[in-house]
Structure 1
Amino acid sequence: MAHEAQERYSNLVLAKVRKSLVLKDGVVFNNDYEGSPKAGAVKIPVRDTEVAVSDYDKANGITAGTGNTTYETMPIDKDKAVNEIIDGYDSQSVPDNLVADRLDSAGYSLAKQMDTDGGIVLIAGSTVKNETSLTSENIYDKIVDLKTDMDKENIPNDGKRYLLVLPDTMALILKDKDHFVKASDLGDAVVQTGAVGKIAGFLVIEWNDNTANLAMIAGHPRFATRAQEFSVPVHIQDLSGSGKYIGASAVQGRDVYAHKVLRSVAIRSVFAPGSLTVSAAAGSTAGKTVLTVAEAATGSFKYKVAPAVAAKVGDVYEGTELTSGTTQISVTAGQVVEVADLDSNGKVVKVGYHTVAATEIKK
């Protein structure tokens, strides 16, 4: 019975997560992986080329080729927990409506954090485009440019391309009544994706993100993966044996997940008025990498490894000092590093991201 309750509670949380996510599975991320996230890593298929086509010889047939699908290991780097005390109730007598309320809240909070983590990974693994400014007069042209870039890279134009749009950019798109088509005019299939409409073939999804100067992200779900699973199913834990709590229980559970971009040219981030260009190289000490920023600092640079939230323009940045091309930092392969450009008051002006590869870490 306890196991059935855990499964039911976990399913309730997952349902809330899926409903609350802006960066939804099947719309922004795929779930094409092998293995269990609880094991700490999963295998994801990576294939940049399509099946080869050749002439058929009726007399001799055709020589069989071999597929070149490879599998990459995706470490599960996010481990989040739910642990909220419901005082005054033991595990057998917590009212169902109270449990449902706390599970609903847990699902919403988890979805919000998962969107933040997923967005940072998308940006760090994307091809970045910097624009001086975006206006209602040029926004459509800029979106068409994104479409053209993706067409040239043979990213499928099968109705699944998406455009994650921040509120200020969304306001510009809404003013373009000649090109923007509302979701209500496109049918239920579009509405169910969470899109608010379409423009230039992209599903338009409004996303309230705080990343400094980010305007929009274009992509296709085929080229970014999310893996998620409860490592400890959600349950009501009796705290009577704790030696501290009497007649109390808690909603507990652990969820593990990770995100990965599979092809940089398939995900495109647009910044206005701009972002930092960050690269990495192996340091001189084992386990270290060195970051280089192409742009000059406004005042100074600071960095964070695997940031919990994205840097926002005008915020005081509590990171570690970075000297471009010199500072050696500790990082593991696949981790995202955020570099912030700060003014003389230590406030964020611009930001840049880089996903560190194994070859960029000193062995």
Structure 2
Amino acid sequence: MKRFISTTSLRVVSSLNKTNNKSIVGVFNRQFTNSNSLSGVSDGKNSYTSGFTNTLTNGNKGGNKVLFDDPKFYEENKYHGISKEPFDKEIADILLADLNPNDIEIKPDGLIYLPEIKYRRILNQAFGPGGWALKPFGPPVVEGKTLIRPYALYCMGRYVAESIGEQAYSDSTPFISFATATESAKSNALVRCCKDLGIGSSLWDPVFIRQWKSENATEKWFENSKTKERRLFWVLSNGLDNKLPYPWKESDFNQVPSTSSTSSSSSSSSPISQSSINQPQQETISYHQEEQNVSKITPEQDDLEDIDIDDVVPPQLKRYAGKTWRQLVADPKGLSYLQWASSSFDNAPKVKNQAMAILEFINKSEVSQ
């Protein structure tokens, strides 16, 4: 006779792909154990692999997608020790302690947050290393351009909370691997679960947010060095280096933009994405333009142009078409290819100069090491 955890089904809907009206529906109900996504459980197959494959291939046939493929997710003993008793006062004091204002960070859009590693340190301090753990319930699932995975947090052997972690990811995105995206989703789920323990609860308090911003952050103007677009972003005001990643640089709003074609550049510029702001500082390399191109440079510019190490290589370098300079340099055969390119392409001097600049950058890096 089947047993049900609850008669209530929790539906988690995501409108990640609005064009196709796709949605993700996770149902906390054991009657789904007979669905296609869990067919591997009853016939002796590997439930993890079978569930993962079917979730990706068959999930949208009926419009619904079952995310939680671990059969243990549907058993009541999963909730062992839930709300049995409060944790000791010593533990509670650590979990509920006020945050150090210097530990809090702010995103360019003004959202304040506590770095994920701080949550881990608080848990380790409260329960000790090994006294807490995140258990995944089901494999990672990619829907649209987002990777998601459900987790539950256990402390001292007791169920505490559960949440779904997410991370922007796509097969066509070269700067983040599937493994890195999965780890980021795990960290995201941990932060969400820690809210139930009261860790960093002030980060969601509007009064605290306004007070912290007034004392620790400020808004400054930044200019996109490529498009000359100007945006107002939040940064820390504690004197620490908090520059935004390339191509954004701090700008004086009262100054005239560095190019005369402000109107044309602003019309072609696109809004900055959140993922690009959160990426690590990018490396840039400067190279000299050929004489015939100098006349095209405005008086406000010099004879140098920046190469973004994460930009896609020119299409003339056919062997690495679609790849970035960073990927080319990381290839064992990339150095010899650059040497060939730097001595070729006389009919494409810009490509030749870029290859020479990358080679010079590599040589300088090796000397400095």
Q: TM-score range by the shorter chain?
A: under 0.3
Q: Structure 1 or 2: larger strand share?
A: 1
Q: Structure 1 or 2: larger helix share?
A: 2
Instruction: Kindly name which structure, 1 or 2, has the bigger radius of gyration based on alpha carbons.
Output: 2
Compare relative contact order (CA 8 Å, sep 6+) and give the higher one, 1 or 2.
1
Normalising by structure 2, what TM-score? 0.22
